[in-house]
Amino acid sequence: MKIIIADAELELISEFTKRNHIFVNEEEDILERGKHRFILLGKDASRAGRPDIAYVAHTILSNYTKQGMEYIIHTRNNKIITWQDLSGAETYHEFKERVISILKLQREVKLKDLIPPGKRSIVLSQYGRTRDLNYLKSFDIIVIGGFPEGDYISELPPIEKVSISERELTVPDVLVRLSSIFI
């Protein structure tokens, strides 16, 4: 099984400021809501600067790679970070350092290109039909949003969208619930 954490709000400060036409003279870093509030303005402000979501996803999912589960973090800017890239990054600081170097070098890969035709794939969304967790066991790829609110911004292939709860869940809540099917 492969998990794709999609549209993760994980980006370099320079990517955000360029997209929003803001000039900031600061050392290159990951955009973080708590640390960089002074530049979080405009239409992206409610979603942007949440690397903590990707870090928590990495922390939870890295426990299941020995059972054959793989995961990919796909950022809002179409950058890809694999579980192998983050192997051994246990602290948030180690995670950030690896992510900064990966984001500087990575080429763009669209979300829809990560979901090959013929693979049983499904998207988790608060707007999908509510299904039991057992329904997900037969899928090869499960796409989970890596953002704090809203819906996917990337184009998705025409695959089923489902919800695993009647209410909106956080990414950690979703991953903890899914962990029962990883084992």
Which domain CATH number covers 19? 3.40.1280.10
pLDDT of the residue at 93: 92
Q: State which amino acid sits at residue 50.
A: R
Which of 110-149 are b and which e, b meaning 16 or more Cβ less than 10 Å from the residue's Cβ?
ebeebbeeeeebbbbbbeeeeeeeeebeebebbbbbbbbe
CA 29 and chain centroid, separation: 18
112 confidence band (pLDDT: 50, 70, 90):
very high
Say if residue 17 is exposed, middle or buried (CB neighbours under 10 Å; 0-12, 13-18, 19+). middle
pLDDT of the residue at 18: 62
pLDDT digits (tens, 9 = 90+) for 75-89: 999 999 999 999 889
pLDDT of the residue at 42: 62
R_g of the chain computed on alpha carbons: 16
CA angle 41, 45, 49 (to 5 degrees): 115
Say if residue 51 is exposed, middle or buried (CB neighbours under 10 Å; 0-12, 13-18, 19+). buried
Residue 145's SS3 state is strand
pLDDT of the residue at 39: 73
With 90 as the cut, is the pLDDT of residue 73 above it? yes
Q: How many CB atoms lie within 10 A of CB 150?
A: 11
With 60 as the cut, is the pLDDT of residue 136 above it? yes
Report the domain count for the chain. 1
Which residues are CB-contacts of 75 (< 8 A; sequence separation ≥ 6)?
Answer: 7, 8, 9, 10, 11, 81, 103, 146
As a whole number, the mean pLDDT across the chain is 88
pLDDT digits (tens, 9 = 90+) for 6-58: 999 998 887 766 666 566 666 668 888 877 766 776 656 778 889 999 999 99
2, 70 in Cβ contact below 8 A? yes
Averaged pLDDT for residues 109-129: 94
142, 4 in Cβ contact below 8 A? yes
pLDDT of the residue at 49: 84
Averaged pLDDT for residues 97-105: 91
pLDDT digits (tens, 9 = 90+) for 153-181: 999 999 999 999 998 899 999 999 998 88
Residue 170 sits in which domain range?
A: 2-182
